[in-house]
A and B are shown apart, each in its own frame.
Chain A
Amino acid sequence: MDDLRLEPPLLVAKRLSIALRVSGRDVLAVEDVSFEVYPGGTLGIVGESGSGKSLTARALMGLLPDAARLAGGRVMFDGVDLARLPERIMRRRRGAGLAMIFQDPLRALDPMMRVDQQIVEALRAHGRLGRREARKEALELLDAVRISAAARRLDDYPHQLSGGMRQRVMIAIALAGRPKLLIADEPTTALDVTTQAEILDLLQQLQRELGMAMILITHDMGVASEVTDRVAVMYAGRMVESASTPTIFAAPRMPYTAGLLGSVIDVETVPHSRLSAIGGRPPSLGDLPSGCRFHPRCNRADIVCAARTPPLREDRMGHRCACWHPLTAEAAG
């Protein structure tokens, strides 16, 4: 449904490629990845570790690690190509246009700095706020991320906070610039299950309140099903399938996506039943298979899969899939 909206997308990544320097030579860690995010919408990018999802996120922020560089493609955000912006101008956009929260809230806060200073510095990085106003707004932000007794927490150091609270503080920092797009890179992976649910809940509420778009990067299909309205699946640096969340969960086409869905445990799983797993392991960057990168692990693979890379094709419902032998036929109409 969301693919039929008339609003222009907030962010369009077009044929994004990222080269990573691995022991002296460049390897394409992300190849030809395209997706779009609509205002207020949530895109889930799902994949195993090493599939290039975090690199993609960091490329959007213009904060690639030293060993990586953008090898091609465009990132159109609000009509501007971020990939071509000089660093000075890009910096102004960070925080205000797009912001990011990280997987490990334990290390995302400076251990030597009090919580209020860390939020205040984020507030002051853009606006011309005075110290007192900034502190007042920091308090409001902590309230906004549902930290109880926020006033008392302001003077705490990060080690005095629990993991969930630190992630809330991190979210507050990310929200300081009133971003239009929040990139959440595995925001709940390091947290325990109950805290996970709380943080996901909070992110959704904030999204509604602030009308913010979100990219949620996760390896957990269960998490993706709860908060996203569209899911893009990445495998070994390529996007292999993307569709609206209900569609991809109901009728995945790519065998890899189906495999991911099969390995999710939920309440409906019959107790003691065998959990299906995808055989083999994801390929290493230095040794990528030819053709479809999933073919060595795929039970539907044949000679074509090994020889030629399947193109990412889109049907009329906006369901995109890169597979020579998809599981379900393309929707008619």
Chain B
Amino acid sequence: MGISVIATPAARPLPVRLPGGIGLWCWGGVLGLIVALCYLGPLVLPLPSPDATDFGNVLAPIGTAGHLLGTDSLGRDLLSRCLYGGRVSLAVSVGAVCLGLVVGGGLGIIAGYRGGWVDAVISRGLDVLFAFPGLVLALTVASYLGPSVRNVTLAIAFYTVPAYARMARAGTLRVRTQNFVRAAEMFGARGFYIGTRHILPNVLFLMLTYALVLIGIAMVIEASLSFLGLGVPPPQPSWGQLIAMGKQDISDAPHIALVPGAFLFLTITAFNRLGDVLQTRYG
């Protein structure tokens, strides 16, 4: 038996289908549903405006007619506020990650490819940013810039830029010693050309799968900033801010904080799980 097992040629790894895996589909579905609800829901569903107050229905529980997920202390529809708040939360975190991808990715590739003093300057600068905990840094920047959607995005970018720069630099160091980069140098290609045409495509995939994990982190930071009153200013809702508003009624109507909390939790978990699946698969 043992001999026959040894004698058979080693099983070839099965060809990997690109889209696949139950985790990928499940969490992709959850995320797709939330994003669709946030952006399409208010257009399709018969929802009241997120700012419309209904003083006859204050602190309504989940399942109230007309207010599926209840209302807050001013009688504003929670579902509607959660969906609009989701737009802000998603936009801020995706925006911050995109900013990190472009700026951080660019810095990382330059540092990794150029090396020498350029690398030293960029890397030490990023190390300084990295020495602060992400939230503390975002807090400092946000309180300095003042609360607005743009400033919150910028504040979170202070976390995502160094995170991406490190990753892009590490990826570049791996790619630049490969022969195809040497081959391009051999026929006299310029540094910019090699960076954009050879190094970027070869590190981009890794950076994109990392984006999912980073979006999750960015969302937590956004929610924390909003919870602390340094995020998106009211009356514009965001998930973190909705949780903060629900805090005062947590003993009478816990669902006001819990409903946006559930949205936040599901979305972040979906991003993290998707990121994990993609990273283990392609990373």
Question: Which A residues have a C-beta under 8 Å from some C-beta of B?
Answer: 61, 63, 65-66, 91-96, 99-100, 102, 104, 107-113, 118, 121-122, 125-126, 170, 173-174, 176-177
B281 interface contact, C-beta 8 A: no
Contact A107 B180 (CB under 8 A): yes
* Identity of the chain A residue whose Cβ is nearest the Cβ of B198 in the assembled complex: A110
Distance in Å: Cβ of B119 to nearest Cβ of chain A = 10
B178 interface contact, C-beta 8 A: yes
B125 interface contact, C-beta 8 A: no
Interface residues of B in 166-212 (CB under 8 A from A): 177-180, 182-190, 193, 197-198, 201-202
Chain B: interface residue total (CB-CB under 8 A): 19
The CA of A173 and the CA of B186, in the complex, are separated in Å by 10
Contact A176 B187 (CB under 8 A): yes
The CA of A92 and the CA of B186, in the complex, are separated in Å by 10
Contact A61 B186 (CB under 8 A): yes
Contact A110 B202 (CB under 8 A): yes
Contact A94 B186 (CB under 8 A): yes
Chain A residues positioned under 8 Å from B202 (CB to CB)? 110-112
26 CB < 8 A contacts A-B: A63-B185, A63-B186, A66-B115, A91-B190, A93-B188, A94-B186, A94-B187, A102-B179, A102-B183, A107-B180, A108-B183, A109-B183, A110-B198, A110-B201, A110-B202, A112-B202, A113-B197, A113-B201, A118-B180, A122-B187, A125-B187, A125-B193, A126-B188, A174-B186, A176-B187, A177-B188
Knowing A66-B115, A111-B202 are in contact, say whether A92-B188 is a contact too (CB < 8 A): yes
* Identity of the chain B residue whose Cβ is nearest the Cβ of A104 in the assembled complex: B179
Contact B182 A63 (CB under 8 A): yes
Interface of A is mostly: loop
* Identity of the chain B residue whose Cβ is nearest the Cβ of A170 in the assembled complex: B183
Knowing A66-B115, A111-B202, A121-B197 are in contact, say whether A177-B182 is a contact too (CB < 8 A): no
Chain B residues positioned under 8 Å from A121 (CB to CB)? 184, 187, 189, 193, 197
The CA of A253 and the CA of B182, in the complex, are separated in Å by 37
Contact A99 B180 (CB under 8 A): no
- Cβ-neighbour of B187 out of A66, A107, A110, A174 (below 8 A): A174
Distance in Å: Cβ of B189 to nearest Cβ of chain A = 5
Knowing A111-B202, A113-B198 are in contact, say whether A95-B188 is a contact too (CB < 8 A): yes
The CA of A108 and the CA of B183, in the complex, are separated in Å by 6
Interface of B is mostly: helix
* Identity of the chain B residue whose Cβ is nearest the Cβ of A91 in the assembled complex: B188
Contact A177 B187 (CB under 8 A): yes
Chain A residues positioned under 8 Å from B190 (CB to CB)? 91
The CB with the most chain B CB atoms within 10 A, among A93, A110, A121, A125, is that of A110
Question: Which B residues have a C-beta under 8 Å from some C-beta of A?
Answer: 115, 177-180, 182-190, 193, 197-198, 201-202
The CB with the most chain B CB atoms within 10 A, among A61, A102, A111, A112, is that of A112
Chain B residues positioned under 8 Å from A61 (CB to CB)? 186
The CA of A94 and the CA of B188, in the complex, are separated in Å by 5
The CA of A173 and the CA of B185, in the complex, are separated in Å by 12
8 new A-B contacts at CB < 8 Å, known A65-B177, A95-B187, A110-B198: A63-B182, A95-B188, A100-B186, A104-B179, A112-B202, A121-B193, A126-B188, A174-B187
The CA of A92 and the CA of B193, in the complex, are separated in Å by 14
The CA of A231 and the CA of B183, in the complex, are separated in Å by 26
Chain B residues positioned under 8 Å from A94 (CB to CB)? 185-188
- Cβ-neighbour of A107 out of B179, B184, B189 (below 8 A): B179
* Identity of the chain B residue whose Cβ is nearest the Cβ of A96 in the assembled complex: B188
- Cβ-neighbour of B186 out of A65, A99, A109, A110 (below 8 A): A99
Chain B residues positioned under 8 Å from A125 (CB to CB)? 187-189, 193
Contact B182 A110 (CB under 8 A): no
The CA of A265 and the CA of B177, in the complex, are separated in Å by 35
Contact B198 A173 (CB under 8 A): no
Chain A residues positioned under 8 Å from B179 (CB to CB)? 102, 104, 107-108
Contact B182 A102 (CB under 8 A): yes
Chain A residues positioned under 8 Å from B184 (CB to CB)? 110, 121-122
- Cβ-neighbour of B183 out of A66, A91, A111, A173 (below 8 A): A173
Chain A residues positioned under 8 Å from B183 (CB to CB)? 102, 108-109, 170, 173
Contact A99 B187 (CB under 8 A): yes
* Identity of the chain A residue whose Cβ is nearest the Cβ of B180 in the assembled complex: A110
Top 6 nearest A-B pairs (CB, nearest first) are: A95-B187, A108-B179, A94-B188, A112-B201, A110-B180, A95-B188
The CB with the most chain A CB atoms within 10 A, among B115, B177, B178, B187, is that of B187
The CB with the most chain B CB atoms within 10 A, among A93, A108, A173, is that of A108
Chain B residues positioned under 8 Å from A109 (CB to CB)? 180, 183
Chain A residues positioned under 8 Å from B188 (CB to CB)? 91-96, 125-126, 177
The CA of A170 and the CA of B271, in the complex, are separated in Å by 41
The CA of A125 and the CA of B194, in the complex, are separated in Å by 11
The CA of A25 and the CA of B202, in the complex, are separated in Å by 33
Distance in Å: Cβ of B170 to nearest Cβ of chain A = 16
Chain B residues positioned under 8 Å from A65 (CB to CB)? 177
The CA of A176 and the CA of B188, in the complex, are separated in Å by 11
Distance in Å: Cβ of A315 to nearest Cβ of chain B = 36
